[in-house]
Amino acid sequence: MLKYSARRLLEAIPTLLGVFILSFFLVHAVPGNPAVIMLGTHATRHNIAMVTQEFGLNKPLPVQFLIWLWQLLHGNLGTSFTYNQSVWSLIWQNVPRDLSIVGIGTLLASVLSILQGLYQAKVRGSLPDQAITWVAYFLYSMPIFWLAVLLILWFSIDIPIFPPGGIQDPTQTVVTFGTWAAHIALPVICIALATVAYAGRFMRASVVDSLVQDYVRTARAKGTSEFSVLMKHAFRNSLLPQITLLGFSVPSLFAGALFVEEVFNYPGLGLLFWNAAGSRDYPIILGTTAVIGVLTVAGNLLADLLYGLADPRIAYD
């Protein structure tokens, strides 16, 4: 297990390097000099030359890449062209906000989908089971941005319970827990519903799968209560696929978050990236891509390792 973990960690290095190389060169394939964009339409040729020089944009691309990589390895993602602030600090401002909506949303979705899966497997074939399956189908087929728009329409316009977007009321200067909770409510609900739509389906399938296994039959034959069969056998064994599913869904979580942030005007990594792409802010584009790339690789790795820990039958050589 230790050897396997070490090997997987080593294998992640060339993958990450590939991510960095590919994203760097792709970003620089975009035409247009960022210095021109940064300075606006009134820039003189002299100013453009100065800024180009200052940000090292006149060096050959491979050299620029090596400089960027060297800085990256030292934990320096550079300075944003447009915000005139270090990219790390920008990312650190946004990550907690993202974590609060994506993290709480996913957590909520996990709990809900486990309950849904257990319940549906318990009553499988019945009317409630089929009804839930159809609702999940519908939810699963809904684009996340439409869901977000509908949530605003229903819960902040038709029945004004929650604010339609942003992170604080314009009149307030101090963000209290109440306003924080109210502002993240709709984004959290949106992410939770979108996640539960596929995680719940998955959970139901794996619980049904484990309920027909021999060990469950043995447990039943020994007179184990139905509750205990569900919790001790079916539930624990169905957790595995759930772990893997979540571990592998890091990139789609971020993509979903971009839409959610866009609709609810909620500042996070997605919006940061989105605005940076509009203004050709290379350091931010590359920095967020690198961070998401690292998180994706880490998510996959973690899912793999947790899977091994949770299922002792899987032997790694």
Residue (of 225, 192, 53, 202) closest to 121 by Cα position: 202
Contact of 9 with 301, CB cutoff 8 Å: yes
- Count the site residues for other proteins by CB under 8 A: 44
What is the separation of C-alpha 241 from the centre of its chain, rounded to a whole number of angstroms?
18
42 contacts: CB under 8 Å, gap ≥ 6:
none
Least separation in angstroms between CB 157 and other proteins: 6
Residues 101-120 that bind other proteins (CB under 8 A): none
Pick from 87, 102, 114, 152 the residue near other proteins by CB under 8 A.
Answer: 152
Pick the piece of the chain touching other proteins (CB under 8 A) from 22-30, 42-50, 51-59, 70-78: 22-30
238 binds other proteins (CB under 8 A): no
Nearer to other proteins, 125 or 178 (CB): 125
Q: Residue 5, CB half-sphere, CA atoms under 13 Å: how many?
A: 10
Least separation in angstroms between CB 266 and other proteins: 15
Q: 56: helix, coil or strand? A: coil
151 binds other proteins (CB under 8 A): no
Joined together, the tokens standing for residue 42 give 């009134």
140 binds other proteins (CB under 8 A): yes
Residue (of 40, 66, 65, 63) closest to 51 by Cα position: 40
Residues 256-275 that bind other proteins (CB under 8 A): 258-259, 262-263, 270, 273-274
Contact of 216 with 233, CB cutoff 8 Å: yes
Site of tokens 């946004």 = 94
Residues 185-214 that bind other proteins (CB under 8 A): none
Joined together, the tokens standing for residue 161 give 């319970």
Q: Give the residues lining the site for other proteins (CB under 8 A).
A: 14-16, 18-19, 22-23, 26-27, 29-31, 137-138, 140-143, 145-146, 149-150, 152-153, 157, 164, 251, 254-255, 258-259, 262-263, 270, 273-274, 277, 285, 289, 292-293, 296-297, 300
